[in-house]
A and B are shown apart, each in its own frame.
Chain A
Amino acid sequence: MATFGRACLIIGLAVAVYGIAASIHGARAGRQDWVASGRRAVYALAALSATAFVVLEIAFLRSDFTFEVVASHSSTTTPLFYKMAAPWSSQEGSLLLWVLLLSVWSSLVLFLTRRRLRDVAPWATAVLLGFGAFFCALLVFLESPFDQLPVAPAEGTGLNPLLRHPSMMIHPPMLYSGYTLFAVPFAFAVGALATRRLDAEWIRSTRRFALGAWLFLGIGILLGARWSYSELGWGGYWAWDPVENASLMPWLTGTAFIHSIMIQERRGMLKTWNASLILATGILAILGTFLVRSGVLDSIHAFGASTLGVPFVLLIAFMLLGSIALVVSRRAQLRSEHRLDSLLSREAVFLGNNLVLVGLCAVVFFGTFFPLISEALTGDRASVGPPWFNRYMVPLALVLVLLSGIGPLIAWRRASAAGARRNLLGPALAGVAAAVAGAVLGAGSSPPTVLMFGLGAFVLGGVAQELWRGMRARRAMSGDGPLRALVMLVRRNRRRYGGYIVHAGMALMFIGIAASSALQDASDANLRPGQSMRVGDDLDVRYVRPTSGIVTTRDGRLEKIRFGAVLEVRRDGRRIATLEPSREFFPSSAIVAFGPVGRFFEGEATSEVGLKAGLMRDVWTAMTPDIDALRPVIDEGDEVYGKFADGDVTPQARSEALAAILVGITERYRNQPPPTTFRVIDSPMVTWLWIGALVVIGGGLIALWPAGDPAGRRVRARYAAQVARDLGTAEEREPVRSAS
């Protein structure tokens, strides 16, 4: 099986190299058959990598420990769902996933555009296959998922329990989809520059690719944040960790691109800027992939030093130099057709938005790579933490939200001052009202938060105003009811209103982020049952009683030991929630080092968070029991078991004894609980972040949704009219389909 999988990857590498040659030959000789063959090489690579992936999945599902990757990342006790997702917790498996996603998305895009972009597509195919070949080469020569162990161990080391959460399993495929999807507009940009065809056709296609990539990457980032908040024992959703930043950077430049490309679409401006931006986004996506897996920067995601550093750096250097060379050599085609008409126009606002987004990306880049920069410049490796990031990101974010509010309300080309004033007045008033309300209701201690409330309300007011006015205008035209008019309005202008909805969602997110970071109260306390702790001004948390238990898998094997607590939460004296945080202890396989009973407390431990989420406030709690206090009991258990197991007993009796001892320990925890440290965080408006995220995703989907075929519709309408004329009858008129 392993040799079959490996063979698939080797054939994949060969196919990719062939495809590059065939596509380039077809492009230069004008031969569609070679181009088609090159395209099919992408399909073949998708099929081959899928096959290899299936082989790997089967090995995981069967717990085939002859595969080294399976033995080190899974175990027989791992639940089925996580066995399926375990492949991409490994270096090799995640590289394979990357190739699979790259080739699948590339196949889809190339299939859908097979009759369009005839000049550009072959070069794009070659670039995409170039990426495929690179990753296949890594998989074949450096990090093979199909390496075998000479002797299969009886049990694998298992999946790190921290990763046992549904979000954590979907997060990597989503992120990788985002990264690989950004390879597509990158490839088409290279193709367009190579063939000097940066035109309307290219713009239309690239915009959609970039929007799709933006959406998937955004979803991946949000899933990571959600996992961090609801699963990890620190209670935050963003830590400015290098790996988090690595995924944010291409997203920021991608956002800039989908805005500035609209300027190029309308006015033929910013061609050099857009080309550079989308190329940079592709490079940042590869850089992100590299950062996650190479261990070059200290991060909680550090997967250890790897052999991948040098190849990736070479690839990124090649992409960077190649991009610069392309843009410089094509500057004649990249000259702007028009100039900015007026600073009071949507173009100017988009330009501002681009500058802020690129500025944000530059700040994140600088902060993330500062350890390497400082080491190179001063010989001393230094790093910056969240306070530094917040200091620079906050003002830029405020400007960004302001611009995102003004943009939709201002016209293209040249807006009149009177018109602008009329449109901005209502939302501005909403913003001021919200800021005042925020300051009065408790946010006054943090001026940036008050400002964000105001700006967020400004954006929301603007979007509401646009939807309202648009709905009214549509009703005046078509006489529809309000709901239908609204739906038709959005359906007929998906790009515009999808975008507005995204802005509204982002405003909600920023409001949630501002409030929950600046206005939260956090407390740590060491409690015994019956004791209480106070958080902030009005929250009391009482440790009611300890809980404990043993969790077994369906086939009777012990999966984990849980120590928990029941907490009663009161705000202003009124009971608002009962939380049950816990700590789960997964056994280590090192019997000799820790003892047969002790090993249950020396493996991984995860926090199960107690969370009461509300619209305006979240109460979050995690606990850490002091295991050291249980040490005497555990040692006693080791002794008892040791004496028992030495005698002449069956394995059945042995495991029963072990179970009895463990039950005894958990009972002891319930009866004589050791002091437990509780961390309680009371944060306002965190839920707004998640709601805003859903709104952003919804808006993105609306904007991305294909709007049908306007040209085809017009042709059909013409034919229908012709038929009616020929027959001498009145034509059937469908209001929705009338040519506008």
Chain B
Amino acid sequence: MEALAVVAVLVVLCAVVALIAQPLRHGPEAVERSASARVRDLEAAREAKYQEIRDAELDARLGKLSAEDHRALDRQLRREAIEILRELDELQ
């Protein structure tokens, strides 16, 4: 019984080590630095901004925002979105 337990433990140990060490055997990957992090951040910001524009539109349609308030807000949000898209283009 004890021998079986020891063997089982060794098997588990080997499996765990194999699992963990596998990425290391491939060697260092290309280093991801802040540039691509910024890109991903801008993409997330873009999605959030689009959602804001859609929300403002829905708010206007539901009467929470008056037509002229919505126009002003929509203009501002789209301006902010364009800024994000411009920065994204520069980085890509």
Classify A-B as touching or not with yes or no (CB < 8 A).
yes
- Chain A residues within CB distance 8 Å of chain B: 1, 3-4, 7-8, 11, 15, 18-19, 22, 30-34, 36-37, 40-41, 43-44, 47-48, 51, 116, 118-119, 197, 199-201, 203-204, 265-266, 409-416, 418-419, 422-423, 466, 469-470, 473, 493, 496, 710-711, 740
Which of A4, A15, A201 meets B44, CB within 8 Å? Answer: A201
Residues of B within 8 A of A266 (CB): 48, 52
Chain B hits for A416, CB < 8 A: 65-66, 69
A663 to chain B, nearest CB (A): 45
In the complex, which residues of chain A have a beta carbon less than 8 angstroms from the beta carbon of B30?
A: 32
Contacting residue for A411 out of B22, B42, B59, CB 8 A = B59
Q: How far is A201 from B13 in the complex, measured between Cα atoms in Å? A: 37
Cβ contact of B23, chosen from A11, A19, A33, A740, cutoff 8 A = A33
Contact A412 B55 (CB under 8 A): yes
A201 close to B40 (CB less than 8 A): yes
User: In the docked arrangement, what's the CA distance between A204 and B28, Å?
Assistant: 29
Q: Is the CB of A469 within 8 A of B63?
A: yes
Q: Is the CB of B5 within 8 A of A423?
A: no
A711 touches B43 (CB 8 A): yes
Subset of 8 A-B contacts with CB under 8 Å? A7-B9, A30-B31, A32-B32, A119-B34, A200-B45, A266-B48, A415-B64, A415-B65
The docked-state distance in angstroms from the alpha carbon of A466 to that of B63 is 10
Residue from A31, A43, A44, A740 in contact with B54 in the complex, judged by beta carbons closer than 8 Å: A740
**A496 vs B61: C-alpha distance in the bound complex, in angstroms?**
15
Interface of chain A: mostly helix, strand, loop or mixed: helix
B91 within 8 Å of A (CB atoms):
no
**Complex contact B56–A412 (CB within 8 A):** yes
B73 at the interface (CB under 8 A from A): yes
Interface residues of B in 37-86 (CB under 8 A from A): 37, 40-45, 47-48, 50, 52, 54-56, 58-59, 61-66, 69, 73
Taking A15-B20, A710-B47 as contacts, is the C-beta distance between A470 and B62 under 8 angstroms?
Answer: yes
- B45 and A199 form a contact (CB under 8 A): yes
Q: Which A-B residue pairs are the 8 nearest by beta carbons?
A: A36-B23, A200-B44, A200-B45, A32-B29, A201-B44, A7-B9, A411-B64, A473-B61
Contact present for B48 and A37 (CB under 8 Å): no
Contact partners of B42 in chain A: CB under 8 A: 200
Please give, as numbers and ranges, the residues of chain B lying within 8 Å of A265 by CB-CB distance: 48
- The residue among A43, A119, A203 with the most chain B CB atoms within 10 A of its own CB is A119
Q: Given A411-B59, A414-B69, A710-B47, does the pair A40, B33 have CB atoms closer than 8 Å?
A: no
- Which chain B residue has the least Cβ–Cβ distance from A410? B64
Question: Given the interface contacts A31-B29, A422-B63, does A470 sit within 8 Å of B58 by beta carbon?
Answer: yes
In the bound complex, do residue A493 and residue B58 qualify as a contact, i.e. CB atoms below 8 Å apart? yes
A412 engages B37 (CB within 8 Å): no
User: Is B29 in contact with A37, judged by CB distance below 8 angstroms?
Assistant: no
Bound-state Cα–Cα, A466 to B28, Å:
54
